[in-house]
Structure 1
Amino acid sequence: MSDVGIKVENLTKNFGSGDSEVRVLENASLEVKKGEFAALVAPSGAGKTTLLMMLGCVTKPTSGKIWLGDELVWDENHWSIPDTRRIRREKIGFIFQAHYLIPFLNVIENVKLIPLTNGWPAEKAEKKAMELLDYFDVADKRDAMPSQLSGGQNQRVAIARALSNEPEIILADEPTAALDMQRAVSVVKMLREIALERNVAIIMVTHDERLLPYCDKILSIENRKVVTTTQDAKKII
């Protein structure tokens, strides 16, 4: 088993065709190892969310290769796996700017949903959900509905849900945009701890440069390519 969490080689993404074709990424490459926490930054419209959705096996690239762990999932011009939904359910945890908790399910039901969908026994799913809720200090809210929680509590539950399938990879799209600075730093510190403690590769899209020192790598999109800057986040943790 290698230590690669996410690896991309020569990834290209075009929208449209002919005179209306727009190239968002061109021969972009990157690598994030297991246990690393990377920030993805670029101006609006540069392709950050598009890149995240390709890594999440939601959007098809135009060409290139994508590995998630040891598994080649996109090979030049086609998915090299029969079921992208399986990859999303089993390998990937998604976190978004909005929490997207299911409003008619309570907290523990939201967190248990993905493991149950993956075929986990109910007792195991319940145990994992409570472990995560306790980790994020919202165990006392297990029977509460999302509407009864604060914004910060909802985001903690959403992160717990993203971890409920024990993913190898977490893709976070502006997870702190709706939070004040204090709560944003708290969430980012949690993500870094998750990367280290659970050996998860994390990529977080952010516009907030104040959060970058907490990350191991900064991935930026420049001239349709990905530029990687490595730094020592341990200095401020």
Structure 2
Amino acid sequence: MNKQSIRVENLVKSFGKGDSLVDVIDKASFSVETGELIALIAPSGAGKTTLLMMIGCVEEPTSGQIWLGDEKVYDNKWLNKDTRKIRREKIGFIFQAHYLIPFLNIIDNITLLPQTSGQSKEESEKVAMELLKYFDISEKALAMPSQLSGGQNQRVAIARALANKPKIILADEPTAALDNERSISVVKMLKKIAIEQNVAVIMVTHDEAMLPLCDRILKIENKKVVSSISKDSTFV
């Protein structure tokens, strides 16, 4: 049986004060289990990235509660002030741009964060090579990012996100810069990771073609995160 990996209750995010106060997310409540790939959809500016960054302990909510795995990390305030530690230990981030460091080769890009977190060079390189083999690009380990295609660089970015063995992957428009074929490949890869690595994945997307590949869909509508909707639903 899958375990609950993310739980959000009554999460609120507001910007401004007084007459200029604007609610972006209003009392969002939902959960995501390990092994699930969830699509998060909404019109532009509706708060998708803000919600993702709150779950990722980057953006501080206004109020509410967040659990990551068995740990309650936010209850109207951060319960652990070292949010960087939470991110390092629990979360992998994937973005629209791969953000690989251009002057480091592929294996060094993947091992940088684990080594910064105290992992030995030998262990981090072993994990990195296992990930590159998993993604079928181990022959590119010593190549520079400029020598790889866009799809290959995005695979490296996913490998980097997995290097610390997180149980949660937060992906913000990971296919936006890719063509349809490569986009499908990346989303199928995320689903494979969710199942085989027992990871919970939330993916922000604007691409309707990716929705049938996801297990469930969450939608931000009128500042609320509505219940999961069917795969056959489309954007409004």
Aligned-residue offset at 1:82: 2.7
* Cross-structure match for 1:210: 209
* Cross-structure match for 2:70: 70
Aligned-residue offset at 1:103: 1.1
* Cross-structure match for 1:102: 101
Aligned-residue offset at 1:68: 0.7
What does 1:109-120 correspond to in 2, within 5 Å? Answer: 109-120=108-119
* Cross-structure match for 1:184: 183
Distance 1:33 1:114 in 2: 26
> What CA deviation, in whole Å up to 9, does each residue of 1:9-68 have, x standing for no partner?
000000011111110011111100011110000000110000000011000000000011
Residue 119 of structure 2 aligns to a residue in which SS? Answer: coil
Aligned-residue offset at 1:217: 1.0
Change (3 A) 1:177 1:122: same
Distance 1:199 1:231 in 2: 23
TM-score, normalization by structure 2: 0.95
Residue identity over aligned pairs, in percent, reads: 68
* Cross-structure match for 1:41: 41
Q: Does 1:157 align with 2:156?
A: yes
2:28 maps to a residue whose letter is A
* Cross-structure match for 1:8: 8
What does 1:124-139 correspond to in 2, within 5 Å? Answer: 124-139=123-138
Q: Which runs of 5+ in 1 are unaligned?
A: none
Does the Cα contact within 8 Å between 1:9 and 1:65 map onto a contact in 2? yes
Aligned-residue offset at 1:228: 2.7
Residue 124 of structure 1 aligns to a residue in which SS? Answer: helix
Aligned-residue offset at 1:231: 5.2
Does the Cα contact within 8 Å between 1:89 and 1:165 map onto a contact in 2? yes
Q: Which runs of 5+ in 2 are unaligned?
A: none
* Cross-structure match for 1:222: 221
Residue 219 of structure 2 aligns to a residue in which SS? Answer: strand
* Cross-structure match for 2:169: 170
Distance 1:103 1:179 in 2: 19
* Cross-structure match for 1:89: 88
Single out whichever of 145-154 and 57-66 deviates more from structure 2.
Answer: 145-154
Does the Cα contact within 8 Å between 2:106 and 2:142 map onto a contact in 1? yes
1:30 maps to a residue whose letter is F
Aligned-residue offset at 1:90: 1.2
Distance 2:224 2:81 in 1: 29
Residue 9 of structure 2 aligns to a residue in which SS? Answer: strand
* Cross-structure match for 2:53: 53
Aligned-residue offset at 1:232: 7.7
Residue 92 of structure 2 aligns to a residue in which SS? Answer: strand
How big is the alpha-carbon RMSD for the aligned residues of Structure 1 and Structure 2?
1.5
Distance 1:209 1:178 in 2: 15
Does the Cα contact within 8 Å between 1:218 and 1:230 map onto a contact in 2? yes
Distance 1:135 1:151 in 2: 18
Distance 1:206 1:87 in 2: 25
Distance 1:145 1:132 in 2: 17
Residue 226 of structure 1 aligns to a residue in which SS? Answer: strand
* Cross-structure match for 2:30: 30
